[in-house]
Amino acid sequence: MSSTKTWDWWRGDVDWSTPAGRLLRAFFDGLPTDRRFHFILFGSAPLQLTLNRTWTSADVDFFSDDDDDHHERIRRLGLGKGQADLYLEPGYRLSFRSTPLMAERAKVVSLGQVTVTIPHPLDILIAKLARLDAKDLLAFRRVIDLTGHPTREELLQELRNAVDLFRPAFDDESPNLYPGNAVRLWRELWQAPLDVGQDIVAPALARRRAGYGDPPPDYRRSLAD
């Protein structure tokens, strides 16, 4: 059955013979066999695993769904930072800021007692908007070169769905760079202007309000009269 989802351009077939794939397999082989594990990948590794095996990255970012700390195990296996050319970088769920659709469109793969969630390139790219260094901008360009996606309209829709990424930062955080980076991305990729308030926030909030239904009148006042 064909689907009309706008993210169907990615199948998520994993090439475990890639450098990231081999590193992950070595890690999985060193895990205890008496329990199950679930890891969620983020950063560039999912792009190397599923889009292009020559995609370079220094590390493989992941977190565990139960927030286990895997640093010690990784060090023991010799797969950590400073121990291997390509190393494992365990993080936490909060390290990966992406969209509400991440789980829905991710690829989930089982390897023995290990389950791996590999996010869709859209979610990987949108997470990169938090920083948008030159390397992150190149990642956008390369995914588009390889797949033809996301188009400008597709990305606009995705950013509306992820509107909460555009909220101001907490007081003790660095400023939220998403709004400025989105404007920069539009300029770099499509030589086009982007008005975050008008093009992303306003339509998203209108849809959110429509989902809540009409605001109720003041029934409490009527009760008190």
Partner 1 sequence: MRIPGDDTDRPWRKSRLAARILFRKEAGRMTARDQRIGRLLAQDPEVTNRLIQQGIYSIRYQGRRIGDRKHEFDKNLGLVAR
Residues interacting with partner 1, by CB under 8 A? 216-224
Q: Is 170 or 212 the residue whose CB approaches partner 1 more closely?
A: 212
Whole-number minimum distance, CB 211 to partner 1, in Å? 14
Nearer to partner 1, 1 or 210 (CB): 210
The nearest distance, CB 225 to partner 1, in angstroms, is 8
If the CB atoms of residues 34 and 214 are measured against partner 1, the closer one turns out to be 214
Shortest spacing between CB 205 and partner 1, in angstroms: 18
> 91 Cβ partners below 8 Å, 6+ apart?
42, 61, 62, 63
Nearer to partner 1, 172 or 214 (CB): 214
Q: Which is nearer to partner 1, 170 or 219 (CB)?
A: 219
Q: How many CA atoms lie within 13 A of 32 on its CB side?
A: 6
DSSP, res 209? H
CB of 210 to partner 1, least distance (A): 15
Give the nearest distance from C-beta 222 to partner 1 in angstroms.
5
Q: Which is nearer to partner 1, 82 or 217 (CB)?
A: 217
CA dihedral 212, 167, 152, 50 (to 10 degrees): -100
Place of tokens 């499509």: 190
Question: How far, in Å, are 112, 136, 214, 217, 219 from residue 223 at the CA level?
Answer: 62, 57, 20, 12, 6
What the block records as the tokens of 74 is 């990784």
Residue 220 Cβ vs partner 1, minimum distance, rounded to whole Å: 5
- Print the SS3 string covering 67-104: CCCCHHHHHHHCCCCCCCCCEEEECCHHHCCCCCCHHH
Distance CA 126, CA 148 (A): 16
Q: Three-class SS of residue 109? A: strand
